[in-house]
A and B are shown apart, each in its own frame.
Chain A
């Protein structure tokens, strides 16, 4: 069947998208079902934990520097952009509040996750894609080892845990960046800045942000695993999967973020 009219095209794109979202959902369900075995399994448990540590190191530790730099700069930029406007209204003192809320609720988790997508997501997709092409996934199955348990679970757990950790870190770096430039541009001292940030930002802002980060982490782990494991057709397939991973992940992150923000807004949280 060939797709011809715009309506049909729209319909088929819609079907593909829902199918894709469904497949990621199913994968995440499998991960959730298999994760408890990290603790309960009698065999292969050490290997599973070794795998998890390695993935956490690979996902998180290597990206700390970049995440820190990016969020520091974003905090600094926000301060420079918003500071003068607030000054016009005589509200310059509100700057730490605005940046603090923005970082903790939105930008910390989101920017952290986006950086991780480029860092870890793309390399996970390339890695699993190469394994799919080299029959390694088939070999795992032939040894009665589920690729989802053996490969996907440690990666998704690692991205989830590390996105939460990195979000905390990027929250802090954003605040530091804001403090840095507002000291230069608006003359707010760092101590003043920090005190006000702590006054303005509540537990709840931090927790909703970290909760979102967890969901983001699961997405940026599951998406490259799914795309990587389904690679067909050699090296070009692997390349396509990496590109798709980055594009789809960023779109998914922003959409899910909007969804969360909307829900929190409606619930007045």
Chain B
């Protein structure tokens, strides 16, 4: 279990706005080194935005994001690139480069950012692909493998530079239950063997409870609950209860403003 005093990610009062819309609203979040954090939340809650922020793809409108004690909001583009090399991101679709083989996909960060010779790179590719169980598929193009394999290949690429944090955006979306379990086991395994801090966004409750040391529930750009799996499972908070059990009735549904609907129908706007 992670050391409770050693935070690798610290978000202080972070706000992200796109035009008029406030997507992250004064968030505060600490993630401990080696922790597996799962982020839950409805569509549009701002989960991907939070992940983009942590992965230095989106900039904060205000507030501080410190990774390993360094404020990434104040970094120059060159410093950010150094930071990006130290993290891994698994995109929802896998985001493999379609024009390259699986092996070349994994090799790309190594060829771009290290002075390793080609022989060494080939060995590293094999090791990374073996980690995700795809060693025999190195020569295939992304279009020739299944969705679950694409995710694992994307994960192998994210691992290429030995990241200290991996961010997963909906790793189980669109996968069959067996592949979901495989990906979950991979996430847990990598965390336990390599000690990488793991931040996961997911909609799969089973998977969330299996993977998480800690869960947070996001709603409208804010955290509404935060706790270990058993606490969340037995939470009496109506929002958490509704979300965890996937109920149609509850505070989340009530928010769809009925008055506004009536007014809209009657042309009051």
Task: Using CB atoms and an 8 Å cutoff, list the residues of chain A in contact with chain B.
Answer: 42-44, 46-47, 130-131, 134-136, 138-145, 150
Looking at A46, A131, A142, the one whose CB has the most chain B CB atoms below 10 A away is A142
Q: By the criterion CB–CB under 8 Å, are A136 and B95 in contact?
A: yes
Please give the distance in Å from A54's CB to the nearest CB on chain B: 9
Number of interface residues of B (CB under 8 A): 26
The SS class assigned to the A binding surface is helix
Q: By the criterion CB–CB under 8 Å, are A134 and B57 in contact?
A: no
Q: Which of B60-68, B83-91, B208-216 contacts its partner?
A: B83-91
Please give the distance in Å from B154's CB to the nearest CB on chain A: 8
| B245 CB within 8 Å of chain A | no
| B114 CB within 8 Å of chain A | yes
> 21 A–B contact pairs at CB < 8 A?
A44-B111, A134-B95, A134-B98, A135-B91, A135-B92, A136-B95, A136-B96, A138-B91, A138-B95, A139-B89, A139-B95, A139-B96, A142-B57, A143-B84, A143-B112, A143-B157, A144-B81, A144-B82, A144-B109, A144-B113, A145-B112
Contact of B57 among A130, A136, A141 (CB under 8 A): A141
Cα–Cα, bound, A58→B95 (Å): 24
Chain A residues near B91: list those with CB within 8 A: 135, 138-139, 142
16 further contact pairs, Cβ within 8 A, besides A44-B111, A44-B113, A145-B112? A43-B111, A43-B112, A43-B113, A44-B112, A46-B111, A130-B98, A135-B91, A135-B93, A136-B96, A136-B98, A139-B89, A139-B154, A141-B84, A142-B91, A144-B85, A144-B112
Please give the distance in Å from A238's CB to the nearest CB on chain B: 13
Q: By the criterion CB–CB under 8 Å, are B93 and A134 in contact?
A: yes
Q: For window 92-136 of chain B, which residues contact chain A by CB distance below 8 Å?
A: 92-93, 95-98, 108-109, 111-115
Please give the distance in Å from B225's CB to the nearest CB on chain A: 29
Contact of B55 among A43, A44, A142, A150 (CB under 8 A): A142
Task: Using CB atoms and an 8 Å cutoff, list the residues of chain B in contact with chain A.
Answer: 55, 57, 80-82, 84-85, 87, 89, 91-93, 95-98, 108-109, 111-115, 154, 157, 161
Residue of A nearest to B105 (CB): A139
Chain B residues near A46: list those with CB within 8 A: 111
Chain B residues near A47: list those with CB within 8 A: 108, 111-112
Cα–Cα, bound, A44→B115 (Å): 9
Q: By the criterion CB–CB under 8 Å, are A136 and B85 in contact?
A: no
Cα–Cα, bound, A143→B85 (Å): 6
Q: A138-B57, A142-B55 are in contact. Are A43 and B95 (CB under 8 A)?
A: no
Q: By the criterion CB–CB under 8 Å, are B115 and A43 in contact?
A: yes
Residue of A nearest to B80 (CB): A144
Chain B residues near A135: list those with CB within 8 A: 91-93, 95
Q: By the criterion CB–CB under 8 Å, are A139 and B114 in contact?
A: no
Cα–Cα, bound, A138→B158 (Å): 13
Please give the distance in Å from A246's CB to the nearest CB on chain B: 23
Please give the distance in Å from A55's CB to the nearest CB on chain B: 11
Cα–Cα, bound, A131→B95 (Å): 9
Q: A43-B115, A134-B98, A139-B97 are in contact. Are A145 and B108 (CB under 8 A)?
A: yes
Residue of B nearest to A46 (CB): B111
Chain A residues near B87: list those with CB within 8 A: 142
